[in-house]
Amino acid sequence: MMISKACKSAFTLNCHALNRLISSHSTTPSHGAFTYTYTLNTNTSYLFNNQISSNDKRFMSTIKTKKIKQEKERVVRQKKKERLEFIEENSEFIESLPDADPMYDKDMTKVNLLFGAKASSLLKESSRAQWHLRIKNNNDQSLKSESPSETEATLSKNKQFQQVRYDEKVLTQIKEKSLGIFKLVGRKKKQTKLDAVRETVKKEVHFTKTKVGLLGSAKKVESFIEESSIPEVAFIGRSNVGKSSLINSTTQRGLAKTGNRPGTTQSINWYQISNSLRLVDLPGYGFAFAAEEKLETWGELINTYLTTRKTLKCVFVLVDPRFGLKDSDRQLLKLLDQQKIKTHVVMTKCDLMTQDHLAKRHFIITQEIEQLHHSVVPIIMVSAKNLAGMGDFLNAVKRFKLKMNPQDENELPPMVKSPLTNEERTMMKEKKMIEKKLKKKAKLQEQLSKDGSLKNKLQKQRSNKKNK
């Protein structure tokens, strides 16, 4: 609101009256009364001026907004006129253009010419939003109409897995064997969890200290190693399930090649343990970084080995507990059961799951395996990384060993030299370092002797020159 000048004058008169009252009470005119009225006048004038300026600003802002709106409306009207003129002039051309569906078509030239780019974009958004709402409503209605049995089937795999009940005895065994993800208490300073678990496992488990070596490998059926009286145990599973790493942990030697990428083992590899047992590493089935032709040849190799090998005593089927048994695993187990081959399921990579989830997966796989006749129960749970659960696995493997060595050891195929253990490697490195130091010392002594002989010759030459 605008404040009038009359109000200002009335306010100043009131201030003068106040000064008179103050002077009447006091015998002498006080200096404070004059200052009081002066300050009041100055403050009020400042306030009035500021109020007027703010009102002026508001008034100007409203004028600006009105002008902007008027300009926009004028532009819109002008565009509409131009569009209508263009449509009248080029009516035949617009009719020849194809009709566009705002739901799917990107090219909407006809709609843009008739209604404008902004209106066409709004049409697109509104039509697509309505389509999504329709689909959502249809899905909700279909779920309501379904029976409770159908709704259970539509549940996700994760929810079904969470609803599974497990055996408490299996969970206690998992905790005792330090399997799964857990909190470790009472470890040494500057010691990782992995090292602590490995130390506890190595105290309880007795690994093989006998000679272990690679007999050979085969990429064709013709290059298979000849059968002998030594029994064989095969390791099979999906690619990147941890077959070769499990063989390395059983032998405690880096014999088998390992890698993060699936499809590292591209041949059948035989490993022999002191003429009493052979471990056979088969290539993985399923997805692998290899050509389709190679995958087909691997499948043929595996089938011929499993069906024709007489010395094969057991097949350890390795399964990743995070995913469980897949269709390819079930087909393989059925095929081996039809041919009366003993199978034993092993859950690898058990250090990547919680203990509760491990117990649930153990329960689910045992229910599926109980239908087979030639599969061994209970399932073995192993971690090749921290060596947890290796005791049960080694006991299962040692059952198939020969109690007596074969009589004709010379007739057996020659075993490839086994790689050195960690202790032997350290000893070899120390020996090499000592040999290098000795060689350096010998070279230095030779150089010094040569330098001394040269010095003596130079001194003789100089002395001869001086005498001359």
Higher pLDDT pick, 43 / 125: 125
Question: Does the predicted TM-score (pTM) go above 0.75?
Answer: no
- Structure token digits, residue 428: 């070899």
> Rounded to whole angstroms, how far apart are CA atoms 121 and 330?
53
For β-strands 212-218 and 268-273, DSSP reports them as antiparallel
**Do the bridges between strand 268-273 and strand 277-281 make them parallel or antiparallel, or are there none, so unpaired?**
antiparallel
The alpha carbon torsion through 278, 279, 283, 289 (nearest 10 deg) reads -130
Please give the backbone phi and psi of residue 452, each rounded to the nearest 5 degrees, phi first.
-65, -40
Where helices occur in 311-421 by DSSP H, the ranges are: 327-338, 355-369, 390-398
pLDDT tens by residue, 392-434: 998 899 888 876 544 444 444 455 444 555 666 677 778 888 8
Nearest Cα to Cα of residue 273 among 255, 285, 261: 255
Say if residue 148 is preceded by a cis peptide, omega within 30 of 0: no
Give the residue from 112, 64, 104 showing the smallest Cα distance to 87. 112
Contacts of 236 (CB under 8 A, 6+ apart): 243, 282, 284, 285, 302, 315, 316, 317, 318, 332
Separation between Cα atoms, residue 350 and residue 383, nearest integer Å: 5
DSSP letter (8 states) at residue 238 = B
CB 48, CB 3: distance < 8 Å: yes
CA-to-CA separations, 323 to 167, 238, 283, 304, 350, in angstroms, rounded: 20, 11, 19, 28, 12
pLDDT in tens, 339-388: 889 999 999 999 888 999 999 999 999 999 988 888 988 899 999 888 88
CATH number for the domain whose boundaries are 169-406: 3.40.50.300
- Residue 75 scores a pLDDT above 60: yes
When the pLDDT of each residue in the chain is averaged and rounded to a whole number, the result is 75
